[in-house]
Amino acid sequence: MAFHCQILLQLVLSHALLILIFSGLISTRVTVHGFSIKEANVDDLQLAFQQNKLTSRQLVEFYLGEISRLNPLVHGVIEVNPDALYQADKADGERKAKAPGWLSELHGIPVLVKDNIATKDKLNTTAGSSALLGSVVPRDAGVVKRLRDAGVVILGKASLTEWSDSRSLTLPDGWSARGGPGLNPYVLSASPCGSSSGSAISVAANMVAVSLGTETRASMICPANANSVVAIKPTVGLTSRAGIIPISLRQDSIGPICRTVSDAVYVLEAIVGFDENDAEATKQASKFIPHGGYKQFLKPDGLKGKRLGITRIPFLNYPSGSVVPNTNGCNLEINNIHVILNVNQSGEATALVAELKLALNSYLKDLVVSPVRSLAEVIAFNKKFSDLMTKSLEEYGQGIFLVAERTKGIGPVEKAALLNLQKLSRDGFEKLMIDNELDAVVTPGADFAQACHLASALGD
């Protein structure tokens, strides 16, 4: 299990290279007391706080300005927190009262959370769907509670592919009925990927410093890759799933999407750990949190002596006739990779639709108030209101929801599918790592995330 996390940190490092390239292109400067906020990372912001060059209030005001300027174009944010300035003032007061060193790295830093992560405040938690408008969550999600304890400012809710892309196969990446079409700020015509699109769009466009996303199948790694930012997809259970509008308790995970590796590590450090509302999984995974936390690994030579693998097929295919670089025999392959990448052949689709119905029904039942109490009621809502709200709602359909509604729990077919997934993982990604004694795999793009998420999901 330990190596699953390492591999994702490795993916992260490949994005870090992209960040260096892009930050060189951005010349606009917005300054307060001679300090440039735009592109500043968490360390820069904390230093500016300490040197009295910046307050949390000024930082929140800057981001609110950027949201009103840019969000009508890129649609990364669904809602802004009416209490954000109040929380910023509170953080500014606490900073004055405490000696430096007593506050966490994230104290006073604005955070945007994906709209499928519950916040018990004035913000709605809807997964982008109007069906959940007006619903009242029982409590903050476990990860949100941890962020509040660290002293962050909850800036608002990030847009997403509606229902984290579990509604239909035809939804455009980044689109939701409430959020509109999320766009990639670097190339507006390019996909922002999903489903944590708004989290990645918003940090890439400097509408917020750091954000949270969730992943079931590449839903953080893919938008991070598409928007040239950093994501860490934790092993399932390392971060609490309590209060997340779910897809599959076997595969769902919550993690940071930020502009730099160190910012992502600060957020990871703040959100991991045991949560009584997701007790079994978080207790199991807590064992793998390194003694002394993750920050100690933030060092320039951290990869020294590590053994890295490259899997060429199908992640690194060169067109025929190319001069293929010599990779010193580092030419690994994952067994059955084409089956693993096909949700229908692997059995993943069979498992996911049955798990979706169970998990979503349970989330909806636990809400204090809600217009919909089951997947069946969400489907009925979509049918009834599609014309009133947006034409797209009807146009994009709800094919996955309809298939999920027809399932009847985890029966023999689903059990066989789950066993097959376990076998594919054991003979595939896990075997690759163990046989080759790898610490990590280096890969371009985000497709590889789909090959290792089965392993991280099975608790072994």
* Positive or negative torsion for Cα 405, 406, 408, 409: negative
Restricted to residues 219-248, the positions that interact with ligand NAG (CB under 6 A) are none
Q: Which residue has the tokens 């004035």?
A: 122
Query: Please, which residue, 123 or 207, has the CB nearer to ligand NAG?
Result: 123
| 371, burial (CB in 10 Å: exposed 0-12, middle 13-18, buried 19+) | middle
Q: Is 402 in the site for ligand NAG (CB under 6 A)?
A: no
**For residues 232 and 407, what is the distance between their CA atoms, to the nearest angstrom?**
32
Q: Which candidate, 232, 240, 197, places its Cα nearest to that of 74?
A: 197
Query: Please, which residue, 168 or 240, has the CB nearer to ligand NAG?
Result: 168
Per-position x/- string for 169-188, each x denoting binding to ligand NAG as judged by CB under 6 A, each - no binding: x-------------------
Determine the interface stretch with ligand NAG among 38-46, 55-63, 307-315, 339-347 (rule: CB under 6 A).
339-347
* C-beta of residue 32 within 8 angstroms of C-beta of residue 69: no
Q: Is 133 in the site for ligand NAG (CB under 6 A)?
A: yes
**For residues 162 and 40, what is the distance between their CA atoms, to the nearest angstrom?**
30
We find the least distance from the C-beta atom of residue 287 to ligand NAG, in angstroms, to be: 35
Which of 129, 202, 211, 219 is the catalytic position?
Answer: 219
We find the least distance from the C-beta atom of residue 169 to ligand NAG, in angstroms, to be: 5
Bridge-based pairing of strands 253-258 and 440-441 is unpaired
DSSP H helical ranges for 231-347: 261-271, 279-286, 337-340, 343-346
| Residues that contact ligand NAG, how many (by CB under 6 A) | 11
We find the least distance from the C-beta atom of residue 240 to ligand NAG, in angstroms, to be: 24
Determine the interface stretch with ligand NAG among 90-98, 336-344, 363-371, 378-386 (rule: CB under 6 A).
336-344
| CA-atom Rg of the chain in angstroms | 21
Which of 195, 211, 346, 456 is the catalytic position?
Answer: 195
**For residues 189 and 191, what is the distance between their CA atoms, to the nearest angstrom?**
7
Q: Which candidate, 38, 34, 76, places its Cα nearest to that of 160?
A: 76
Query: Please, which residue, 27 or 344, has the CB nearer to ligand NAG?
Result: 344
Three-class SS state of 384:
helix
Cα 446 vs. chain centroid, distance in angstroms? Answer: 13
> Which one of residues 18, 85, 343, 402 is an interface residue with ligand NAG (CB under 6 A)?
343
Is 114 one of the annotated active-site residues of the chain? yes
Q: Is 82 in the site for ligand NAG (CB under 6 A)?
A: yes
> Which one of residues 116, 119, 124, 161 is an interface residue with ligand NAG (CB under 6 A)?
124
**For residues 156 and 78, what is the distance between their CA atoms, to the nearest angstrom?**
8
We find the least distance from the C-beta atom of residue 80 to ligand NAG, in angstroms, to be: 7
> Which one of residues 7, 9, 67, 123 is an interface residue with ligand NAG (CB under 6 A)?
123
Q: Is 79 in the site for ligand NAG (CB under 6 A)?
A: yes
**For residues 457 and 253, what is the distance between their CA atoms, to the nearest angstrom?**
9
Q: Is 338 in the site for ligand NAG (CB under 6 A)?
A: no
Is 195 one of the annotated active-site residues of the chain? yes
* C-beta of residue 448 within 8 angstroms of C-beta of residue 311: yes
Q: Is 119 in the site for ligand NAG (CB under 6 A)?
A: no
**Which residues form the catalytic set?**
114, 195, 219
Catalog residues that contact ligand NAG under the rule CB under 6 A: 79, 82, 122-124, 133-134, 169, 342-344
